[in-house]
Structure 1
Amino acid sequence: MLPAAAVFHFPWEVNSGAVQEGESVRTFGRLVCYQPEESRATLSAQHASAQHQVLVHTLFVEPFDPIIGAQYIVLGEIENMEGVGVMVRARVLNCVDGVNLALLQKAINEQRSFFKERESKEADGPPT
């Protein structure tokens, strides 16, 4: 059986506890740091007046040719690493530099609305 499809989460949601350990996620951010000796990258995103960071374990996507300052989308599972905190174990890490972040965020919100509406219709049952 295949795992559930990864749901898009904003970077500020990943560390807030909104995502459970082991859950598949998709998120994005600007690559601000890469530590090859630890197989760890740090993505950063601005939300309101706060800067949010997501740690990414890159072991499964190496060799990895990082472009510091570029936008990336990551697909992986959430892990709680002792002494580090919440980290995404990357299965896919793609550079998407040039993506319009405002449109991406709008698309994520539209997708969430669609799924929420679809779930509520399914819960109401089929029309008679």
Structure 2
Amino acid sequence: MSIESCQAFINYLYGVIEDEEFFKHRLELLHAADKYDICDLRDVCSESLAEDMDSSNVLERLQDSYLYQLPKLKHHCMQYLVKFGRIFDIKDDFNAFLQTVDKDLVIQLLGEALSYLLIR
């Protein structure tokens, strides 16, 4: 964790963090929240990451949601990929993602895709 991220973490703990500072360091803050079991910070980071998700960062967010066990963020990512058909927009990146990510996450993603197709 960088010194700036550590300062952002301390600012969060004291309730004086600025929005811009939070936004800039939210992944590091998420890591600290997970490490020190600070549930409200985890939730705020998860919500913030879900709010600005797009095709350029959805796979990273999905992996973070799996790593830090963030079910709401994971649900948003899977919906974005499956329901909204964004898998096809990022086909090459998605194929590379499938080769490197934990196989349990791949199974969950395929399960989401299958259940969506069956419900449709």
Q: TM-score, normalising length from structure 2? A: 0.27
- Higher RCO by CA contacts (8 Å cutoff, separation 6 or greater): 1
Greater share of helix: 2
Greater share of strand: 1
